[in-house]
Each structure stands twice: as C-alpha cells, then as structure tokens.
Amino acid sequence: MNVKYSWYGLALATAMSTSAFAASSANIVYVLDASNSMWGQIDGVAKIDTARTAMRSMLDDLDPESQLALVAYGHRSQGDCNDIEVIAGLGELENQQILDRLEGLTPTGKTPISGALAAAGGVFQTNDAINQVVLISDGIETCGGNPCETAKTLAAMGAETKVHAVGFDVDASAREQLKCIADAGRGIYLDAADARGLNSALAEVTRVAQVVTRPEPPAPTPKAPVRVSAYLDDFDPDMAGDWTVNNPNPEGFIVEDSNLLILNSGPAGFDIEGSENFMTLDTSVLPQGDWDATVTFAGEFKTGRDSLWFGLWKDKDNYLGAQFWANRSRTNTCDSIGLSLKKKSSGTETKFETPLIGDFGCGGPTFEEYDTFMERFALESAQLTLHKRGRSYYATLDIGDGDQDTHFVMSTEKLTSLRSPGGLALSVGVFNPEGAQGEALLFVDKLEITSIEN
C-alpha cells in the first residue's frame, strides 16, 4: 500500500483525531476524474476501473446518515472544457444507482478541475452544514482554470466546508497542484500509487470528511460566589447585644459617633490572660459554610509595641487569629510592621508572618519609613479580614483609599483548622510592654460577616 499525507493533511488529520467530534449527516461531493488519461493502466487494470472498485468499497463503508453526490468530468467530449456533469445530486440516488452510472463513464476528454470544483460547490443547498468536496484525479488542470483559488472560494462558503484531494498515480507537477487545492480548501491531500493505495486513500479521506472540526465547546464560566451579609454591627448608636467585653475597663472603651473607640496601654493579645476590654462575639453570629469576617478601623498606634488581633478565640491555648503589629525598636535595627496569622491548638502554635514594608524583623524599615507609615495609617481607613474557605483560613489587610503612595494590601498564607476554635474576638493593645510608652487607640467603624455561597 502506498498512501501518503501531505504535511498539511497529516497535521489536520492528527488534530481531528484527538480533538474533533465524529458527526453524521455530512454532505460529501465526490469529483471523479474521467478524462482520457484514466485509461492508463496500473498492474494491467485501467485506472477508471480501479476508481470504480474503490468507490464501490467506499460506498459500503459510508455513514448511512451522510449524503453523497457525484460529479464527473472529461467523460463525454474529447476537447470540451465544459464537459462537467453532476451525475447524482445529494441524496438523489441509491448506492447501486450511483455505481451503475459510474459504470457508464467513458474516459474521453480534458481535465477541467477548476470548473468541476465549482460545480461541486453548486450542489450544496446551504452553507451552514458539513459540506465536503473530495477530488480524485490522476492529472493536472488542462483547461486554464485556477483550481487552488476555486478551492479557497469553496472553503470560504462555510465553517465546515472543505476541499480534499486524492492524487492517483500522479507526477510531481500534478501532485504539487493537488496539494495546493487541499491546502487552499482547508482539507487533506492523499497520494495513492496503486489499487490498494487508492482504496485506503478513499476510505481515509471519507472518514475525515465525516468529522466535525469544531473545537471543544468552552467550559462554562464558573459563577462568581454570591456574597450575602450575614451580620453587621456599625455601632449606631451602640454596640450590638452579641458582644461581650471581657475584663472591662470602662475608661478604656466607648461608643461615640458610630465608632467603637478602644484605648489601651497594657498588654493585649489572644494568648495573654487578663487583657483589658477583650471583645468577643457570640458564636451564633457565624454562618455555616464559607465566610469573610471584616473589621473596618483606623488607629493611632504610639506605643512602639502596638498590636491589633482579630479572629476566632476560645481561650489562650485555642484560637486562630490575625495580628497586625507595629514594632518600633530603640536601636533602629529591629523595626517591623506586618501581618501574621497564628493558630494555637491545645497550646501548640503554628503561624505565618508577612512583612508590610521593608524586611521582616531586624534589618527592617528605618525610623523615617516607620514614622511615615504610621502617620499615614493614622489618617487612613483599614480593613482586616479573616477568610474561611472550607477548613482553610487566611487573613488580608487593606490600608488606604487606592492611592498608589498610601495604599497597602497584604495577605497571609493559609492555615488549616479542622474545627472552628470559638467565636470572633477583637483585641488591641501592647504585645510587649517592656519599653513601651504611650497608648494604642483604635476606632472601629464596623464589623461585618459575609456568607460566601458558591
């Protein structure tokens, strides 16, 4: 067997075999060369007889839902370039009737390939179907037409219109033109040197002609999660009844002008016992499933050891909280401003830390950088959010109004907690009282919990 793909046909056939869908109801017009050269013999058999045998085999294997048409040329007049005939229109004849008409073809004349391709295009009833043309020829255009341009015009008729070509015992010049026709027609070219090769080529091109080359439909765009406000306290005119103030110091907190003000110069944190004005929310306000809990605030951090905690808290040995801190060293060697996410489970600690400006810990921002940031922070609104997604938690901090010079956004890595360690809690104060001077003042504008529904 001698069957070869052109480089284009091989690439197309490979792509279709891996990414296309098989389809029924293809419209296929076979254009058969019945010019005088088809009397030539291969292995003692006229090429026209070999073509008839190959067509018979192809008809036996054709998808019954595909519709077949047949165009022949060069079979009636010796020198007529208009000797082109639609032997059978789409679906007009039964297979045996088509074979009977093939038997009546007598190779006689010229090779008007361009005109025959145009006639094939006229057979199609609509341009939105799977319309395929299969040209079988043993020679080159001999009537002055431009079959490559005709094939290109046909392929432009519809998204699934293609022109394929089979070269049967052709020389180099004919092979080049037939490849050009297939390339221009967005089809494949197959080369057949003998009867077995023609049978195989015709079977393969018919298979390809019955394949839709449309790409896989795009995956549906995932719907954006639906965000529903599940809880809101905007401190207007007072704190909601769900709050508990632990270790209350009435001199250290007040609700005023729709803000919760918390003032603290002492130790604060989720793992510090006795922290004054440690605010906790009733666990019933947390929704089931995924959620975001956001505290919107501004502050004046002046102790040099300032710390804001927000997250889930059960006791000092069981919590999962985000900490925003600002540490001003006296030696300008260990300044740090950053965000951390810390988990304690039965006293075992896991944490992630993220710097906001400069390096982390020692070797961090200079005095000037630290002071500039804290001055901006005192004027800007900020949001600290704890996100729950499944059993994972992470925190984000957003400071500023979007101005490039004053807007800071940062996130922590995720921590996993198999169980929710308590309810929401809020604490502000000093994380290391030694050497701290002054007070940390927090203005809480609102606390909101948003349910995330996928």
pLDDT at 293 (0 to 100)? 97
Residue 442's H or E segment, with its range, is strand 440-453
| Best CA proximity match to 425, nearest among 264, 158, 242 | 242
Q: For 227-244, how does the pLDDT look when each residue is reduced to its tens digit (9 = 90+)?
A: 999 999 999 999 999 999
Residues of the chain below pLDDT 70: 1-25, 212-217, 329-335, 357-370, 376, 378-379, 401-406, 433-435
Listed in order, the ranges of the chain carrying CATH 2.60.120.200 are 226-453
pTM of the model: 0.55
Q: pLDDT digit string (tens) for 59-70?
A: 888 888 888 999
Phi, psi of 442 (to 5 degrees): -120, 130
Instruction: Quote the CA–CA distance of 208 and 198 in Å, as a whole number.
Output: 15
Alpha helices per DSSP H over 20-122:
47-61, 95-103, 113-121
Bridge partners (DSSP) of residue 293 are 386, 449
Residue 4 pLDDT: 36
CATH level 2 (architecture), domain 226-453: Sandwich (2.60)
Alpha carbon 383 to its chain centroid, in Å, reads 31
CATH code, 3-212: 3.40.50.410
Which string of DSSP letters, residue by residue, matches 230-290?
A: EEEE--SSS--TTEEEES--GGGEEEETTEEEEEE-SB-STT-TT-TTEEEE-GGGSPSSE
Angle at CA of residue 451, ends 450 and 453, nearest 5°: 140
- Start and end residues for every CATH 3.40.50.410 domain found in the chain: 3-212
